Amino acid sequence: MASSISVIITKMNNYIGFMGFMGIAIAFALCFFVFLLDFLSLAGKKKINNETQGEEEERINNNNSESEEGPISQGRADGDPEIIIVGAGVAGSALACSLGKDGRRVLVIERDLSEPDRIVGELLQPGGYLKLIELGLEDCVEGIDAQRVYGYGLFKDGKRTRLSYPLENYRSDVSGRSFHNGRFIQKMRVKAAKTPNVRLEQGTVISLIEENGTVKGVNYKTKEGKQITTYAPLTIVCDGCCSNLRRSLCNPKVDIPSSFVALILKNCQLPYPNHGHVILADPSPMLMYPISSFETRCLVDIPGGQKVPSISNGEMAHYLKTIVVPQLPPEVHTAFISAIDEGNIKVATNRSMPATPCSTPGAILLGDAFNMRHPLTGGGMTVALSDIVVLRKLLKPLDDLNDAVALNEYLEVFYSIRKPVASTINTLAGALYKVFSASDDQARTELRQACFDYLSLGGVFSNGPVALLSGLNPKPLTLVMHFFAVAIYGVGRLLLPFPSFKRAFLGARLITDASSIIFPIVKAEGIKQMVFPVSIDSIL
């Protein structure tokens, strides 16, 4: 009897050992495949040549020769508008500039033209900066004390690693940019107002004008209180995360994953200068990045299911000093405590909303009114600018926007063409937030540790994910492969050096948890469009 049990135990150990070996072999094979895919993808990217760079510099100098200082001057476009843009944030202003340059008569209606004071929209990824270049708007990050960002510092349990953007194949000015969001928006608004064919007005859009299922224009109230009705073949709604027109065009499913508690640290020496910093804290990650030459933004995440401490009665200050400070890098403790004592603490709700195609002829949603994701990865402006590049290219061949049938066909294609960039950044933001958040589940804890260790390996293991996060290589399938490479790497960590049934079971749960995180997000983004994206070149 004892001999039989010994044989069974030996066979089980051999089986577990074999499964461990197979798991490790699969992990290496998958990692090699991911490396090959990333290598081929990044090798295909070319530097912008000197001639193009010279043309860009000449264009920038010409743009800068026109004064953009002082208050926003509201330009006047001759004739009725072809396009009405509701909202003059990052998306609305950039779109107005681009369409105005293309000769479109554009009316932009913005509720408040004073400088916004927001605590998000302060980090533009390198992929977003490349879109600014493509739109001819890269000079909008000049003159606002914007800081260059070259990657991230990742912190967990006293350990740290640096993740650099893979910028080797790009010209020297390509990097991330961080800044005061309001300064950037004002720069964009000034540029839009000075663009020929663009008229910028302060007013509040009350409603869309709809006739026989087609949007024909808007009703709005001017700053002076006068109600105006104006018509255009195309109305583009990009009035932000709290859009009051969104429900007229789609059935939004807005989720509140968490809230941000925001502070500005003065003269803070970050562990990695010119880098964003992500601290894998308990209960959820914290962010830090420079927004001027002497200011650092710090964002403390409070999960949606947790009560946000009150600022007025001192609960927030106590929470920050007792719970948050011990989890921060020691280098920033003094500046962080000083910021708490100054009392300028703000709270903002984070929203997430999958993009729902707008099937109403004559209108389209854009920006945060259309699509939101957790701001952990700072990808919102990159998605918005990428959408503008796509929409601008789609509209260029249309000489007459009054051809409602042709216009609607082109607008429907927009939702498929935007998918590679948008779905990659959206999926990564949602998945990383869940993986980076602390959990009582041991499998989720192992997945979190595996992600930190995987990124700490460097080389293709960090370059690939960072290229995805930064918008430099937005490929949904590459994202899914890296995500499961992390999971399999985590299983390999569990099974080495001595596999056991308990560890094998935990590894199986880790894979299950990873699947439960990634697949619902992929499904919400649209599996077909992610796997079989439509190229704009195949349409035009």
Q: What is the mean pLDDT of residues 207-226?
A: 94
Return the pLDDT at 35: 47
At 5, is the secondary structure helix, strand, or coil?
helix
Q: What is the mean pLDDT of the chain?
A: 87
pTM for the model: 0.87
- How does residue 534 score in pLDDT terms, banded at 50, 70 and 90? low
Q: Is the pLDDT of residue 537 over 80?
A: no
Beta strands across the sheet bearing 83-86: 227-231, 214-222, 198-211, 106-110, 83-86, 234-237, 363-365
Least confident of 132-141, 187-196, 497-506, 507-516: 497-506
Amino acid at 408: N
Q: What is the mean pLDDT of residues 351-359?
A: 89
Q: What is the mean pLDDT of residues 148-154?
A: 98
Return the pLDDT at 2: 47
- How does residue 28 score in pLDDT terms, banded at 50, 70 and 90? very low
Domains of the chain by start residue, with CATH: 2-42+421-536 (no CATH), 66-144+179-253+353-404 (3.50.50.60), 256-352 (3.30.9.10)
Q: Residue 302 and residue 245: Cα distance in Å, rounded?
A: 29
Q: How far is CA 8 from the centre of its chain?
A: 53
Contacts of 392-397 spanning 24+ positions with Cβ under 8 A:
392/95, 392/98, 392/99, 392/102, 392/135, 393/536, 393/540, 394/536, 394/539, 394/540, 395/99, 395/102, 395/104, 396/102, 396/540, 397/540
Return the pLDDT at 75: 53
Q: Is the pLDDT of residue 451 over 50?
A: yes
- How would you classify the pairing of strands 159-164 and 106-110? unpaired
Return the pLDDT at 222: 95
180, 294 Cβ separation under 8 angstroms: no
Helix (H), strand (E), coil (C) string for 185-239: HHHHHHHHHCCCCEEEEEEEEEEEEEECCEEEEEEEEECCCCEEEEECCEEEECC
432, 376 Cβ separation under 8 angstroms: yes
In tens, the pLDDT along 32-86 reads 454 454 544 444 444 433 433 444 444 444 444 444 444 565 554 557 899 999 9
Return the pLDDT at 60: 40
- How would you classify the pairing of strands 295-303 and 214-222? unpaired
Q: Is the pLDDT of residue 444 over 90?
A: yes
Q: Which residue has the higher pLDDT, 258 or 24?
A: 258
Share of the chain above pLDDT 90, in %: 72
Q: Is the pLDDT of residue 292 over 90?
A: yes
